[in-house]
Amino acid sequence: MQILRKAIVVVALIAACAPQAHAASRSVDLDLARQMAKAAEAEATAQQTTIVVTVIDGGGHVILLERMEHAQFASIDLAQKKATSALYYKRPTSSFESALKGGKIAVLALPNAMPAAGGVPCMVGRDVVAAIGVSGGNNAQDDLSAQAGLHVCEAALQDTASR
């Protein structure tokens, strides 16, 4: 009887974890991070600016950090902070920028919140599987570049989900 109870508990735990395991299996690897960076850099070039791109995984670990030639060195740190902020708060960093522009100075007290556009999360359902941070242009240029990288991420994960 005790063995049966343990087996039921194990089956229940496996069933409870199944959706989380499915979402986690759709992750961003180095090849996809490179594609995201390439799209972001192409957009930056179209905007006539140079950028630093950081792609992090759902745990906040850097998968890729790339600096275009002539991009400012400060953008290395800023791109990482934008990606981290997007991951931690599950929203684009432009939302913090908008809140600050609207007079909500409390945004400045939020830990790891970066109130400058250019960081966006890549979501699968409610889970952040990756985030991209871009810095080097003005905030609007950074945001356009980050969005270009995000579209690549979303398209790749959608392809994975449909298989």
pLDDT tens for each residue of 82-118: 999 999 999 999 999 999 999 999 999 999 999 999 9
State the chain's mean pLDDT as an integer. Answer: 87
DSSP character at residue 105: G
Q: pTM value?
A: 0.83
Compute the distance between CA of residue 51 and CA of residue 45 in angstroms, rounded to an integer. Answer: 9
Superfamily of domain 27-162 in CATH is Haem-degrading domain (3.30.450.150)
Compute the distance between CA of residue 95 and CA of residue 36 in angstroms, rounded to an integer. Answer: 21
Compute the distance between CA of residue 38 and CA of residue 51 in angstroms, rounded to an integer. Answer: 11
Amino acid identity, position 56 = I
pLDDT over 90 for what percent of the chain? 80
Is the pLDDT at 6 greater than 60, yes or no? no
The per-residue pLDDT for 159 is 75
The domain locations on the chain are 27-162
pLDDT in tens, 50-60: 999 999 999 99
Query: What ranges make up the beta strands (E) of 58-116?
Result: 62-67
Average the pLDDT over each of 5-9, 34-38, 43-47, 157-161 and give the range with the smallest value.
5-9
The per-residue pLDDT for 142 is 98
Task: Give the distance, in angstroms, between the CA of residue 107 and the centroid of all CA atoms in the same chain.
Answer: 20
